[in-house]
Amino acid sequence: MKRVVFTDLDGTLLDRFTYSYEKSLEAIKLLQVKGVPIIFCSAKTKAEQEEYRRELGIGDPFIVENGGAVFLPQDYFALPISGASSIPGYFVIELGLAYEEVRKVLKNVEREQGIFIRGFGDMSAEEVSQKTRLSPRCAVLASQRAYDEPFYLEGDSDQVKQVLDNIEKAGLRWTPVGSHYSTVGHTDKGKAIKILLELFKREFGEVETIGVGDSQNDLSMLASVDVPVLVQSAADEWVAGIDLAGIYKVNGIGPEGWSKAIKELFGDL
């Protein structure tokens, strides 16, 4: 049976504040030695994820911008892939709306509500860096968006709720992500995982999926795998509202919890 790990990045494999993967390295090596695919499934862009893939020596498929698209290395699966387009190095299965369309919907809601929706597309890379604590270079990569728009809202709770409701009515999905929100077309991490899982089953037969996340933004991912794992977002604290049957709530914040869960599920070197 082929085992596959789907993982969130920020606050899970990566430290939420420093974006470091140092505490995950031993467990990443364990999976690589055992031949277990590591599928990034994150709000991060293609450019951001490629950076980590190069540094960590990961060559598996990956899911970008909250399920906006699935990127498949062109030599990864032996059988043809229907519904995919081809770009240098990858086949791409696009699931989300184009970024420009997402931005257009947000601006329409903004005009109707009279509340400024400040997205990454309204900010310079320097402002993105200040808001997110990303390095200036990483902020540039985070601004290279194709499907999903992170955004900030100001206003009282009723105003914010009305804006979010209208974003949904306009056909977009949104999720809370730390101090901001993120919106994408009618897709999510879970939808992307299901498509990728069918490709793995076609190639390898029986497949067991493990998903590791830390936040509400990971709910669709965790609901789509055989073994959902939730790491702590703070000491002795797991995010509320994720109460899936059989979920493993591991002790350990972010990459500490990630490493602990991987070692418990896969043994040691």
Q: Looking at the domain covering 99-184, what would its CATH class be?
A: alpha beta
pLDDT in tens for each of the 269 residues of the chain?
A: 999 999 999 999 999 999 999 999 999 999 999 999 999 999 999 999 999 999 999 999 999 999 999 999 999 999 889 889 999 999 999 999 999 999 999 999 999 989 999 999 999 999 999 999 999 999 999 999 999 999 999 888 999 999 999 999 999 999 988 789 999 999 999 999 999 999 999 999 999 999 999 999 999 999 999 999 999 998 789 998 898 989 999 999 999 999 999 999 998 65
pLDDT in tens, 47-82: 999 999 999 999 999 999 999 999 999 999 998 898
| Joined tokens for residue 137 | 């270079």
Contact by Cβ (8 Å): 61, 196: yes
Domain 2-95+188-266 of CATH type 3.40.50.1000: yes
CB 184 within 8 A of CB 65: yes
Task: Provide the pLDDT for residue 177.
Answer: 84
63-100 in b/e burial notation, b at 16+ Cβ within 10 A?
bbbbbbbbbbeeebbeeebeebeeeeebbbbbbbbebe
Q: What is the pLDDT of residues 218-254, one digit of tens each?
A: 999 999 999 999 999 987 899 988 989 899 999 999 9
Does 8 qualify as catalytic in the annotation?
A: yes
Query: Please, which residues have CB within 8 angstroms of residue 237's CB and are 6 or more apart in sequence?
Result: none
Sequence spans of domains, the chain = 2-95+188-266, 99-184
CA distance 144 to 199: 27
Same fold, 2-95+188-266 and 99-184: no
